[in-house]
Amino acid sequence: MTTHDLQKIVANPFYCLEKVDDAFQYKHTPLVTEWEWIKASSNLIEEIGAEKFLELLLDNLKGNYPR
């Protein structure tokens, strides 16, 4: 197993969540590109810190987001 493989395992929230919100199972038209999301997320991490960002990400995956 490579270092990159281990990084992907640690970065995968599958290992800490029992279930993700059903909304993430449906195909949809993205509002931004993956690169735009990465850039915006990187900026937010700089602003609020990695731990807070990851808490928000997990909350979103659980379905706790504005609708």
State the average pLDDT over residues 10-30.
93
Global pTM value: 0.86
Calpha distance 42→49 (Å, rounded): 10
pLDDT tens readout for residues 22-61: 999 999 999 999 999 999 999 999 999 999 999 999 999 9
DSSP assignment letter at 44: H
* Domain boundaries, given as residue ranges, for the chain: 18-67
pLDDT of residue 66: 86
CA dist list (Å): 19 to 22, 32, 54: 9, 25, 16
Q: What is the pLDDT of residue 67?
A: 83
